[in-house]
Amino acid sequence: MKFLVAFPLILAGLASAQFGGLRPGQRLGAAIGNVANRVQDRLAGIASRLPAPPALRDVENFGDFLTQSGKTYLNEADRVLHENVFSARKNLVDAGNEAFSKGTSTYKLAVNAFADLTNAEFLSQLTGRRKSNQGESKVAASRQSAHVQPGGNVPDAFDWRQQGGVTSVKYQGTCGSCWAFATTGAIEGHVFRKTGKLPNLSEQNLVDCGSLDFGLNGCDGGYQEYAMAFINEKQRGISKSDQYPYIDNKETCKYTNSLSGAQITGFASIPPKDEALMKKVIATLGPLACSLNGLESLLLYKSGIYADEKCNDDEPNHSVLVVGYGSEKGQDYWIIKNSWDKNWGEDGYFRLPRGKNFCGIALECSYPIV
C-alpha cells in the first residue's frame, strides 16, 4: 500500500493557511511555524513511500487487534507466537493503566500496532543505536566542544515545535535506522535556528550511503555522531527528503551533490549527565540527538511522563531527538520526538523525567555545528 499526495494539495494548504490574522496571544513566529509544520506534514507524505501504522481503538482481544491492525503471519505457529506476545502486552497495558488511575504511575499505556512484536523484533525494527570501534575512530576530526554563549536566556520551559523548528513525526518502519532520524532531526532544527528555514532531510540517504568505515550499517544500526561525521567529512552534505524518499530498506547509494539540502561543519558532544548544559543548548541553539534505553513499556506508551525505572538498568539502544523541556505538577521533563509515527504516544512524542539521567537520556547527546 502506498500513499500518493498530489502537489496541488500543498498549494491548497498554503492558500488556506491563516496568514490574515493571529489568534489572541499567538506570536507571529509561532503562527509562521504552525504554517510551516502543516506544509512539512504534506511534504512528509511525498517524501516517504512507507505506510503509517494504523491507529487502534478500544482493543479488547487478539481478534480486535488483527481486525484493526490488518496483520497477517507466516503460518499458524507464527500466529500463536504473536498472539501470546500480544496477551502479555495487553496484561502490561491493563496493569499500567490501573496504576495510573490510582495515581501510582505518571504515564498511560495503550495497545497499539506494535503490541504483538517480540522483543527481538522490537529491537531490530524500532531501535538501531549501535556503537562500534570503526565509528569511534572516525569521529575525532568532526567533534567539537559543546558550548553556549554566556548570558543567553534560558527559560523555565522551551519547545522547538512552537517555534516551527521541528519537522513532522516520521516512521522508521521495520528498519533499525533510529540513528538516521535522530541525526536528520537535529540538523533540521539547527539549520532552522540559523536560517529561519526548516529543511526536511533524508534518512534514506544515510541508510543507503552511510558506510561501515564510519560505523553506519543501514537497517542494522548506526549512531548519530557517526552519521554527523559522515555527512561532514565524506558526503559533504545530506539530501532533502522529497528528493530521496524513505523506503524502509537499504539500497544502493544515490546521493549526488545536487541533492544536498544542508551542510554541517562538525558536531559537539554534551558531557555525560550534564542535563544543565542540555537545557541551555536546547533553549539557545537547537534540538539534541540523544540515546536512551527503550523497553517494551515504552513501545506501549500513550501519554504522560514516562518513568519506568527498569529502563535505568541497561545501556542505551535507541536514538531520539530532544526538542524541548518543561514541568508538570512539580515534575521536570524532556520533550522527545520519536520515529515510530504520529499514531504512537503523544502524537509521536513522549516525555521523560528531567534531571535524573532517566533511561540514560543524558549519556550520549550531540548536536550539529551549522
- Catalytic choice (112, 175, 232, 318): 318
Contact between 227 and 180 (Cβ < 8 Å):
yes
Pairing outcome for strands 301-304 and 238-239:
unpaired
- Catalytic choice (200, 205, 217, 338): 338
193: nearest Cα among 217, 158, 233: 158
Q: Is 82 a catalytic residue?
A: no
**CA 103 to CA 92: how far, in whole Å?**
17
Q: Is 338 a catalytic residue?
A: yes
The string of DSSP codes covering 297-326 is: HHHTEEEEB---GGGGGS---EEEEEEEEE
Q: Is 178 a catalytic residue?
A: yes
345: nearest Cα among 157, 168, 179, 112: 112
Dihedral of alpha carbons 162, 164, 168, 169, sign: negative
Residue 159: Cβ-neighbour burial (10 angstroms; 0-12, 13-18, 19+): middle
- Catalytic choice (82, 112, 175, 178): 178
How many CB atoms are closer than 10 A to CB 253?
Answer: 16
The catalytic residue positions are: 178, 318, 338
